[in-house]
Amino acid sequence: MRVEPLKRSFGAKVYDLSLPDLNTEQAQDVYDLWLKYALLIFPGQNLSNDQQIKFAKNFGALEFDLSPISNVRNDGSIRDANDDDIVKSLRGNMEWHHDSTYMPIQAKGAVFTAHKVPSHGGETGWADMRAAYEALDQSMKDKINELSAYHSYEWSQKERFGHKDPKVSEFNSYGFDIDPKPLRPLVKTHNETGQKCLTIGRHINKIPGLSDQEAQNLAKELEEYACSNKEWVYHHAWEVGDAVIWDNRCLMHQASMWDLSEGRIMYHSRIEGDPIAEAASNYL
């Protein structure tokens, strides 16, 4: 196994390792590397769906095994770039977020694989919420250490991207019906590394003690600060066969736009969060 760190505050590319054939010792080494780097990129693995699910289970139980993230229908046709609800969910994913902050238990991480990539664009970006928190000035740390935010997918996706009624939509509306909306501290301590990190992103719509506009402005201010520093952000240009695993507790991510008349087919496996450490404070 050869590890090549990215020239960033996080992330590494890993070569000379076959993910379908990991033995117990190698799986532990990969897990430890993942905790250290938060993002591991494995070029040229060409995992089947079953191999992806098996690999993802090295990191814990799965919130869900496998979901296509794609603008291509099963028959190979391309979805409508503007009106299709699945494409609206892809557009939503182009904003910075952590996965499943809108669920009672936030996701621990995710495995993502590339099966068809567009000729330009469609990169995935990640941003280091540990480095961003660490570099905040003390007055902002003091301010946000006291604050928690409500995360709502119904708001960030349905209201902002105009989904059709879930009953008539192909989009499965996973997470729309969560009630009450999960409340999460803006600053969290990672349960395995002990590092503090920001938990922010597109699903924040309310912060107790602030007006909705103030809450959304603060979330946006923190996001722009955290996701504009080149040291803390990395965008990966996909090649077919690439596989990645990221730590959703301390990284945000986003997809980049591409020409939506071209197909992009990715598969996502979501790793379940710890029932205590990743629980929203109003679900404990």
Cβ of residue 99: shortest distance to Fe ion, in angstroms? Answer: 4
Toward Fe ion, which CB reaches closer, 110 or 144? Answer: 110
The stretch near Fe ion (CB under 5 A) out of 14-22, 97-105, 160-168, 216-224 is 97-105
Toward Fe ion, which CB reaches closer, 104 or 201? Answer: 201
Toward Fe ion, which CB reaches closer, 181 or 253? Answer: 253
Phi and psi at 120, nearest 5°, equal -140, 150
The stretch near Fe ion (CB under 5 A) out of 95-103, 157-165, 222-230, 243-251 is 95-103
DSSP letters spanning the chain:
-EEEE-SSSS-EEEES--GGG--HHHHHHHHHHHHHHSEEEETT----HHHHHHHHGGGS-EEEEEEEEESB-TTSPBPPTTT-HHHHHHHHTTS-B-TTTTSSB---EEEEEEEE--SS---EEEEEHHHHHHHS-HHHHHHHHT-EEEE-HIIIIIIHHTPPPGGG-SS--TTTT-SSPPEEESEEE-TTT--EEE--STTEEE-TTS-HHHHHHHHHHHHHHHTS-TTTEEEE---TT-EEEEETTTEEEEEPP--TTS--EEEEEEEPPPTTTTB-GGG-
Number of residues that bind Fe ion (CB under 5 A): 1
Residue type, 63: E
Q: Does 247 bind Fe ion (CB under 5 A)?
A: no
Toward Fe ion, which CB reaches closer, 99 or 272? Answer: 99
Toward Fe ion, which CB reaches closer, 126 or 150? Answer: 126
Cβ of residue 28: shortest distance to Fe ion, in angstroms? Answer: 27
8 Å CB contact between 250 and 197: yes
* Interface pick for Fe ion out of 63, 85, 99, 128 (rule CB under 5 A): 99
Toward Fe ion, which CB reaches closer, 27 or 66? Answer: 66
Cβ of residue 112: shortest distance to Fe ion, in angstroms? Answer: 9
Toward Fe ion, which CB reaches closer, 63 or 84? Answer: 63
Cβ of residue 180: shortest distance to Fe ion, in angstroms? Answer: 22
Whether omega for the bond prior to residue 180 falls within 30 degrees of 0, making it cis, is yes
Cβ of residue 26: shortest distance to Fe ion, in angstroms? Answer: 27
Q: Provide the mask over 55-94, with x wherever binding to Fe ion is found by CB under 5 A and - wherever it is not.
A: ----------------------------------------
Q: Which position's Cβ is nearest Fe ion?
A: 99
Q: Which residues bind Fe ion (CB under 5 A)?
A: 99
